Structure 1
Amino acid sequence: MRSVFKYSLLRLVRNKANLFWILVFPIVLACLFKVAFSNITESESFHTIPVAVVSDESINAKAFCAMTDALSTDENDAMLAVTYCRDKKAKKLLKEKKVDGIFYAKDTVTLSVNADASDSSINQSILQVLLTQFYVNRDLVLKSMNDHPENIKNLTTSLSETISPRKEVSLTSADTDTYDQYFYNLIAMACLYTALGGIRLAIENAANLTSLAARKTISPTRKFTAIAGELAAYILFESILNILAFLSIVKVLGIHMAQRPLLSLLTIVISSACSISFGMFLGCIGPKSKGGKTTIMFVIVMPCCFLSGLMMGTMRMVVEKHAPFINRINPAALISDCFYTLNNYDNLQRFATDLLTLSVMAVLFFGISCLVTRRKTYASL
């Protein structure tokens, strides 16, 4: 068994197609994901809005300036960066896109924006909402002064407490990102691609398909011992490739998906074993040609990745709502959910359930493959 294990490793090292699909392709795809999602995250993140204010000495102007001052006092988390200036300078700043809008604070407060600054449309909308909110609050204070002057102090206090525009609330102790799930699914896809090795292993032990398998059949080595040695080599080597891809994504690209590194590596090893066993199962059934078996593998793996959310992030939630059983047997969903649970949950019960399911699937596929392989007989070789 030791020699089988050794020479299986040497053959795997020379398999360039295997190296590409399991190591190179996931890393390249991860780099593309990083470039695409970093731009999205940057566009969605909030930045302090630069604005110019042109005011006079009217009551409305003073009230509005008090509101803008309150929204720009926090240096680290200010909503507005206010520049008080004259009309001429304000228009110049707006034309040069150094501010996103001009507030004219007089008896009537108005907002002026640059219609050509499409990249500032979100900030312009926020400024318009602030202006609307100012008028709502002003009318509320005036009405309270006329109808219930005794409540004016409590009202002004409550209005000032709602000035903070943002509050960050963390649902978990981990540093997570909305788009990390795509990288979880990417690792799941890489693990499932190790099924290619399982197909190769099955073909190389089918004497009617390859001359190598024919020589193995008439050798004195027990068939189960030979298959077990080869399987161990495949699991070790392809797990290492997946681990290298995982470490590249974590260390080089800086994706936060290694909160529990040892359990993450265990997930990769068990996922690789499950996928290789699945590949063996496919190699024992279906078309005789390697190309036909590989096609079946991709036809199964890619829909699994799609349903787990690799191409559409919300797809897994859609499946969970309408057909949750699919998520319980979809290996891609189970693998990605393992990483999601490790990086977001303190309780590992859900992770243990997913990993146990993958382990049972690996044993089941390997057992069936061994039974099918051992029962095959050949009239002549």
Structure 2
Amino acid sequence: MFLHNYIYRLKCIIRDKEFLFWTLLFPIILATLFNFAFSNITEAEKFTRLNIAVVDNEEFRQNTALQRAIKAAANSSGDKDQEGLFNIRYTSKEEGDKLLEDREIEGYIYLDNGIKLVVKESGLSQSIIKGFMDHFMQLSSTLETIIRKDPQSMERGILDKAEAAINYLKEVAPSKSSPDIVVNYFYNLIAMACMYGGFWGLKEVTVIQANLSSQGARINIAPIHKFKIFIVCVLAAVTVQLFEILLLLAYLALVLKISFGNQIGYIIFTCIVGTITGVTFGAFVASVVKKGEGVKIGILIGSSMTMSFLAGMMYDKMKYIISTKVPVIGYLNPANLITDCFYSLYYYGINTRFFINIGVLCVFIVFFSLCTYLILRRQKYASL
């Protein structure tokens, strides 16, 4: 009997084309639009070598220190992940002016009773070049002062030590994956899709209520315990919604190439917990709100989108604002918890933060399910 009712509810759910659109096609369409909108964000942030020119005059040829500094800045440090700072072109002053006018270079360096930097406009690239020149001149001035006061420092190799530019700091990645602000939008999208599973939970509770449908009237006079009916309906809704979430996950990972890290099992586990949370939330809304189906759907959509907004779906800094100003709201927001689970797995792997989020989601599942069942069990009808 249980299996028969389960299969029957699956067939009824699959035939609802309107809800299938909102729970499956809409998130996929939104993910595609996100991909179009955000595809060039990370590329725009990558550093590219700056094109500069150096006037190759007699004074420059005599300044071996500047020559070595420019060559060092143009070449990589030997690390395959470290590129040189500049692309250098050696020109005359007239050619440098022409290249600058044609915007083929960001600026040029020439020596005429001192080092001079010529640029056409101010900007980030020009500030980088100026920073390099300022550093060189400060270092040169310091070395001149030291050598003037202590000529023996030349014999101790002070120039070689200065050029070595030893770095006593070691760069350590704060997470297992490189930072990417774009992936958080897609994690929010999955969280929103999980909460949209509330459509199925709402539909199943509406079916059970005798005052809202003839089907509900027949179910209520059937010799089946309401708890069993509730379990069958929720299980069918979770099955369909989980299948849709896994399809969305596959589309994001395999088609759009969104990275989720290497914890595949925990990612799927998060999808399962998120799906159950969304379905039980919809069932909770349907049982608490004593209005028609249209009002219930409106409340469900409004609350789901509000949760998604507070989780950072529309404004990426909102999640940070909530976590720093009113962190309790973050723990009361299922969409934020689901997003944070994916975020934790991607950046830090399996850690305490992930299990806390999962634990709070499980508390929500128990709360929504228990409240829904208690409300449905108390409902009585004068006539059917």
TM-score (structure 2 length as normaliser) = 0.90
Name the aligned partner's letter for residue 248 of structure 2. A
> Paired residue for 2:192, among 189, 192, 196?
189
Q: How does 1:118-267 map to 2 (within 5 A)?
A: 121-151=123-153, 156-162=159-165, 169-267=172-270
Q: Offset of 1:114 from its aligned partner?
A: 3.4
Query: Distance between the aligned counterparts of 1:132 and 1:35, measured in 2?
Result: 41
C-alpha offsets along residues 122-166 of structure 1, whole Å, 9 cap, x if unaligned?
Answer: 2222112222222222222222222344446665345423499x9
Q: Which residue of 2 aligns with 1:81?
A: 87
Secondary structure of 2:223's partner? Answer: coil
Name the aligned partner's letter for residue 242 of structure 1. I
CA contact (8 A) 1:176 1:256 kept: no
Q: How does 1:59-74 map to 2 (within 5 A)?
A: 61-74=63-76
Query: Distance between the aligned counterparts of 2:253 and 2:93, measured in 1?
Result: 51
Query: Distance between the aligned counterparts of 1:200 and 1:279, measured in 2?
Result: 8
- Tell me the percent identity: 31
Change (3 A) 1:215 1:34: same
Q: Offset of 1:260 from its aligned partner?
A: 0.8
Query: Distance between the aligned counterparts of 1:309 and 1:155, measured in 2?
Result: 53
Name the aligned partner's letter for residue 100 of structure 1. E
Task: Name structure 2 gaps, 5 residues minimum.
Answer: none
CA contact (8 A) 1:182 1:313 kept: yes
Q: Offset of 1:44 from its aligned partner?
A: 1.4
Compare 362-371 and 339-348 and name the one that shifted more: 339-348
Q: Offset of 1:186 from its aligned partner?
A: 1.5
CA contact (8 A) 2:176 2:346 kept: no
CA contact (8 A) 2:53 2:91 kept: yes
Q: Which residue of 2 aligns with 1:291?
A: 294
Change (3 A) 1:203 1:154: farther
Change (3 A) 1:200 1:211: same
Query: Distance between the aligned counterparts of 1:136 and 1:338, measured in 2?
Result: 48
Query: Distance between the aligned counterparts of 1:79 and 1:103, measured in 2?
Result: 15
Secondary structure of 2:87's partner? Answer: strand
Q: Which residue of 2 aligns with 1:313?
A: 316
Task: Name structure 1 gaps, 5 residues minimum.
Answer: none
Secondary structure of 1:299's partner? Answer: helix
Q: Which residue of 1 aligns with 2:49?
A: 48
Query: Distance between the aligned counterparts of 1:188 and 1:159, measured in 2?
Result: 53
Q: Offset of 1:276 from its aligned partner?
A: 0.8
Secondary structure of 2:199's partner? Answer: helix
Change (3 A) 1:39 1:154: farther
Query: Distance between the aligned counterparts of 1:251 and 1:35, measured in 2?
Result: 16
C-alpha offsets along residues 23-82 of structure 1, whole Å, 9 cap, x if unaligned?
Answer: 222222223333333322122111111111113232674432221101112285111111
Change (3 A) 1:93 1:168: farther
Change (3 A) 1:156 1:225: same
CA contact (8 A) 1:56 1:106 kept: no
Q: Offset of 1:283 from its aligned partner?
A: 0.2
Name the aligned partner's letter for residue 115 of structure 2. V
Name the aligned partner's letter for residue 127 of structure 1. I
Change (3 A) 1:377 1:320: same
Q: Is 1:91 the counterpart of 2:97 in the alignment? A: yes
Query: Distance between the aligned counterparts of 1:24 and 1:88, measured in 2?
Result: 61
Compare 199-208 and 150-159 and name the one that shifted more: 150-159
Query: Distance between the aligned counterparts of 1:343 and 1:197, measured in 2?
Result: 29
Query: Distance between the aligned counterparts of 1:283 and 1:329, measured in 2?
Result: 20
Change (3 A) 1:312 1:163: farther
Q: Offset of 1:313 from its aligned partner?
A: 2.0
Q: Offset of 1:264 from its aligned partner?
A: 0.6
Q: Offset of 1:233 from its aligned partner?
A: 0.9
Query: Distance between the aligned counterparts of 1:133 and 1:83, measured in 2?
Result: 21
CA contact (8 A) 1:72 1:79 kept: yes
Runs of 4+ in 1 over 6 A off after TM superposition: none
Query: Distance between the aligned counterparts of 1:330 and 1:155, measured in 2?
Result: 60
Query: Distance between the aligned counterparts of 1:162 and 1:31, measured in 2?
Result: 47
Query: Distance between the aligned counterparts of 1:92 and 1:312, measured in 2?
Result: 44
CA contact (8 A) 1:48 1:79 kept: yes
Q: Which residue of 1 aligns with 2:20?
A: 19
Compare 53-62 and 186-195 and name the one that shifted more: 53-62
RMSD between aligned alpha carbons? 2.4
Q: Offset of 1:203 from its aligned partner?
A: 1.2
Change (3 A) 1:235 1:45: same
Query: Distance between the aligned counterparts of 1:147 and 1:16, measured in 2?
Result: 86
CA contact (8 A) 2:263 2:349 kept: no
Change (3 A) 1:167 1:245: farther
TM-score (structure 1 length as normaliser) = 0.90
CA contact (8 A) 1:188 1:332 kept: yes
